[in-house]
Amino acid sequence: MKIGMFDSGLGGLTVLKEFVKKYPNNIYIYYGDTKNIPYGDKTKQELIKLIREIITFFEKEKVDMIIIACGTISSMCLNEIRQMTNILIYDVISPTIEYLQKTNQNKIGIFATNATINSHIFKTSLKNKKILEIATQEFVPMIENNKIDLNIIKKYCNQISSCDVLVLGCTHYPILEQKLKKYLPDVLIINMAIPLLNKVKLFNDSNLSREIVSNEIVLYFTKKSDTLLQNINNVLDFPYKIIFL
């Protein structure tokens, strides 16, 4: 199967990594829109314009499935995307909400971009839970520029420490997971890729498992930066091919 996956930058690679780990017998096409990062500060109209270009790209690539590996797009534009194409669409937020609806934990913290927090998608979908929404707008630039500030991380963790669960509501944030655990040792941290993987069922014949080669995982980015290649290698531990659009 040929799977398309996209995000504003390198955050969606945390989703790609989990998919390749569980379902290596597929072709993956990743689109990182680094030219237009961050998505979290854009209007819905601006995002829809960008998404149309990405969907057209995936249609030309003839993918069988598109994974919205972006919390902002998942929270704001899911219905519009499904109206743009007949390709099967999955997003990262819906499976996470389904998972949280079934858990016994009632006090749930959300770290996400401004756009996702302002959509209140978690609060409106989990009315029987106590939801603490916090916009962590410094996280994405910090990750993309590879300039991690522990004081910023600690500041936000202090606000969420009374919660039972912390949802990493942006796919960039699992890159910070180990640092977050340092300040939140008793909080269950949710990487949205995991509920998504439990939702998506792909062919996975272990008898066909073989070494991953670079031409089966192609990363497209709309802009190159000084830190991009280093950041990619910090996330991915398998071969890939990279193309700049």
Query: What residues contact residue 27 under an 8 Å CB cut-off, 6+ apart?
Result: 1, 2, 3, 216, 217
Q: Could you tell me how many residues make up the chain?
A: 245
Angle, to 10 degrees, between the axis of helix 13-22 and the axis of helix 228-235?
30
Task: Decide: 202 and 73 in contact? Cβ < 8 Å.
Answer: no
**Torsion 235-39-148-154 (CA) sign:** negative
Distances (CA, A) of 9 to 33, 148, 206: 5, 16, 31
Helix (H, G, I), strand (E, B) or coil at 161: coil
Which H helix or E strand runs over 90? strand 88-91
DSSP class of residue 23 equals: -
Q: Are strands 130-135 and 165-168 parallel, antiparallel or unpaired?
A: unpaired
190, 191, 192, 198 alpha-carbon torsion, rounded to 10° = -90
What would you report as the CA-atom Rg of the chain, rounded to the nearest whole angstrom?
Answer: 17
Residue positions annotated with a catalytic role? 70, 170
